[in-house]
Structure 1
Amino acid sequence: MRNWKFAMASTILGSALVLGACGSTEEETATSGTADSTSDEAAALEGSVAGDGSSTVAPILEGLVEEYAAVQPDVQVTVGVSGTGGGFEKFVQGETAFSNASRPIKEEEAASLEEAGIDYTEFLLAYDGLSIVVNQDNEFVEDLTVEDLKKLWVEDGTSKTWADINPEWPDEEVVFYAPGTASGTYDYFNEVILEDEDIVESATLSEDDNTLVQGIQGDSNAIGFFGYAYYVANQDTLKVVTIDGVEPNAETIESGEYSPLSRPLFTYASNAEVADNDAMYDFMKFTLENSGEMAEAVGYVPLSEEDYDKGLADLEALK
């Protein structure tokens, strides 16, 4: 497997592999190849599989798509990055066979799928720690509490300065960067930090996580948040903030110590597509067999082997 942490860093700096947006971006990564199939179970397949959804999950899936091309070169797999909410909208419309999500499916989304006659199965892929980052030149912010985060990020009609959090910090206005409202990352932050209150009006909301990274890199008073893999890929140019004294890393995310910002990452698969489309079944099987290694490679936390085995058993039951 190639060095995917390096690939992530190159991507965010603008290389050809676009990890994409957590909202309305319509870009897709399509992969095809020329290698012979290495499957011991079946002959080479032909067909197509389309997915969409979270940009947080995208590094895992886009890496797997590229790896899968060497195994089944005649299967075209596309992974759009419309954000968790945008991905579910396409899933409901029957435009995609799977939908990536950085939060569990909402009741209204599940109801829409039921109304559309689409049965689905939820597959857990990895764990993420939503990371709070500041500019690398910020020498005063080392740790924030959950209460500090809420005070900073909730709109209260005032201009927010660092001194509002700690009087020993500069009396300079904070510059905010956050994922767009179609993002599962935004939804999760809203649930555990904002608690359904309005986000600060001065925040730059972007559906492109790379825009957030670049914005924080370019302003010494900036603060923002996104998935852990995007921090890992840019850790030489960004500074992560501990939350209540806990730093996001593989150990604290997996154990749940990095609370409340640890979260699961999912893909949702159409049961009918798994049952009727051999290419879809094969790609999902490849995904579950290799998600742990790819998650670790791009900066997320893999599940236990037992969890992946359960996912494979659930997938097999659909065939």
Structure 2
Amino acid sequence: MSTAPGTVVGGATPRSRRAEFMARGGWQGLMFSLPAIILLVVFMVYPVLWTIRLSLDTGRGLRFREFVGLDNFERLLTNDRRFLDLSGFPPDGALVNNIKWIVLYTSLCLILGLLMAVLATRVRYESMIKAIIFVPMAIAATAVAIIWKFVYSPDPDIGVLNAAIQGFGGDPISWLGRESTVNYAIIFAYVWASAGFAMVVLSAALKGISQEVIEAARTDGATEWDIFRRIQFPLLSLPISVVTVWLVINVIKVFDIIYVMTAGGPNGASQVIAYTMYDQTFQGSKGGYGAAIAVIMLIMMIPIMAFNIKRFRSEAVVQ
């Protein structure tokens, strides 16, 4: 048995596949997508590749000067105590601060957002209450930083928090001037600004749950806690994962609120990865070192995005 030249056994020829692609309007679709592809390459792919290349160089003046290989990464993870300090317990440094942010900021936003979403659906004037809670989300991070800088002011005549403490007979506390409190103070301010986002997304997801299922559960004698634990919460797993990914990515690249409130102080206690990258690149004129920090930020985000994509695909298969 012989086969004709140019054919593939058990399938269409490359030529027929190309003709089928053309018949379905594939080239037209590709041409329509071309501007978006060009923008993606110019503004995302090229900058990432350029940053990776710069991280392997001294990068003074943000130019390729001298190739140093992985020296920037080695120095960053072993010799830079401002970035990672493992000499004592607990560990310290910008990377550790970011981990604190991820754990505290993400969990507090999710807990408060879910709590407010559930409670808001059970009260009158639901829309007005949600709008009030969401207002801080519409405020620029710089403005949030200025507001909370006044709230935390050690002067009781200016700082609302210290005025309240003094009113109860306590001594004013320098919330942003103490290494032990500065990170928690900034995190709380950022939670105040972001919890409304989590509330709105989770509230919309709650609205999407069939009321017939909930009423049937109530008819069967289920309490409100049983309804939340056994019906609502499991159905909120995908929206919660989406909000979690957004919060984690948001906190990995957090910069502006720290820059305005403390500029990384006191003594570098509130520095995070993004602020360290800015400080090394533009204040220290170490472009290659700053690029290495940016690459580490990218590496931290990749598994988070991969988890989100995998979760969406699994939900699509189930549906």
Higher helix share: 2
Name whichever structure is richer in strand by fraction.
1
TM-score, L = length of structure 1:
0.25
Compute the TM-score of the two structures, normalised by the length of structure 2.
0.25
Structure with max Cα Rg: 2
